[in-house]
A and B are shown apart, each in its own frame.
Chain A
């Protein structure tokens, strides 16, 4: 048996994979002691099996965990007291950042605070040059003096990022050794080891963020593994990472930055599986709808997209992690997004959100502003008596009153028109987010299939898909817990990267091949170590390449494991031109190419691919009719079907509603829904 557990802001989701059957459980998240929430969820599962928790856990051989612990610590400022060491002459790397700003006329927002304040920043006398040569030798005595000062200040963690440590790490290594000697109990992160990438700000940013998380994540993961062991678990604990893979919990404790974007990164992993199973080669848009945010990613050719520009918080206002992670775009649009009318008479939806507290008006927990969820309720999409399987009754009248006074009356339209407009505008924002992410990769969303995940996905997934011109929308059976389902499918991965600048005109075959050989050895060592026992191991090489004078590279897969001769190089250059055309509509086939960073990624598959099925529900597939409103048809009685009970092949023609304990799917007029053999709901548009 394998477990995947995703600790979110409100709920701790647990997916139990028991042979071919999957079961879902939800417990409340316990912020004061999150491990308790994990154990509570496990307790619910054990109860279901009618076993004491210890015996249940004894039958579990793998526990995969995702948590918002690290990101929450950053957002609430509860990370370690962290110092930043950098090359003398350049103390303001974290302050100046890379510039850039949003909202040109908004001067109400302060310049962002540096992740490490200036008074905890120290200049190390040394300088390495772009070619790796040493311009100024390291002043080791000065480093020892700094170490003394750090001890006085009670610093708990140190991030070290020296200029060009990616070209020659010798100074950074030495600084690490001196700190280890003088400050044995202080966590240290060295930039070239953590994130060997060009651009000092983003490398430094990743380094100090990682260092600042080490004490608390080490503590959290030790507690988690110890308490699981005490509870009777003797299997392997894995953590999901921002890169959409899994790592041993001990490895994440050593580099906790891997865990900051772990939740959203899992949805595309699940999405890729469903896409390959149900749609073959079509590009797939994965949209995960939560209470406050809408996370979008894109899978094509079976590849999960990556970005090196992940921001914590808003672009330019938050911090860049500078770390490769799954390219997920988040916008403030979800079930909790608030609808309002501004002074100019324009309808607004989000980015303000009622979140889980106070939540939508209908929750009756103190929310007073109408939300997307309230509108879905008003339109009849959600059954007020069957929300979360009936666990939470909803207050329809309160929702109607709030929307009427705050939106409908101010726009001089009817209540249902207002509710439909709110959903239409939310849909439009979601479409805008998808457009952004698809443009960056040159994909026509019209050629893609959309997969909807998250509890609120079904409210407008069909509308979004229609608006984009997608061929179809799929709501997987485990869609409501798409991230946790993805965690069970991920592979054990690690990546190695090295900077070696060379050009197609004067290609450094010797240097590149030596580097690839080294990285292959490192990957193999990983496969033989943590990856031992994997059923399949793959090592992939890629290079970040660009045209001369460009500075934003694109990642191009390398066909083999070495670049033996001119023919292999010609192939690589041809692949680069093709990739550039694919992404940006243009290329420059007469130009040469430049190569900057070389990457090797090892993936160890721990189990056969596949997703278990939910246990069937023995109720009737058709559970009557409900009065709902669509702009095109007005109020009408439409059929309501029970998701889990629908047999494959049964067609439900829109307008209709398909609902389960975890989600409601609105089937718009003119579309047809059908259960796939894999258990998902497929809506042809």
Chain B
């Protein structure tokens, strides 16, 4: 028997509480309105579809980051994984049929994530340390396999992927559709699936989870593996957009992903966070970049603004927990 919207709004201070509760969505809407007012290019389909294309890759790894953070962990390796897996995909797509190349890349992502998962869940290594190591290893390997330069798609399969990644369906960029499908899957899994429920339980109290007979290690292992598989998906998308896999891809993306999850109200201690809010976090970060670009603000001040927004968003969430 949740309170109805009307009840929420009419209780004392209701409107304020409502705003605070759904703060990420309001920040997002405010930014949209602000952007529309400040630039007449913003609401053009070209700009919006560019925006969506830009955020899709980071968006997908943010969902992986979210499920890791929900267990109270963190995955620093995803940015480097995107580079390694983009290079891998470019190599594979030039050798194998496209479906196989996609499958192998995702399996490899799952496998690499499993390494972090194994170290964290079964070797009790701190997530920060384990994934930091994987981050360095993956980046190094991406340079080794690509010999330091980008690997271009040369086959029909690569061409097909490139077309897919740069085209739209019903006005929505295909890669954004992939991102949205992943967001919806995550929403459903976190709300209605045992897997989601258990990782949230583990993040909110690991010992109580263990004593409830939950296979804590298995689920901690799985979230890193899934994060790896999502990094592979992101890698395929970003490589396909540019028709090549480069060892310089995904630079510092793990930090943007963490920022998106945090702006989305998740707690780094675990147990708190939703897919829809992470989506908002991703869009907010993307919007800031987009509008500052439209205003011709150079990239360094952009970073300052991004940082300020993170602080603002988290401060706002303080109200919520009170």
The answer to whether A and B assemble together is no
Chain B contact residues, CB within 8 Å of chain A: none
- A residues with CB within 8 A of B: none
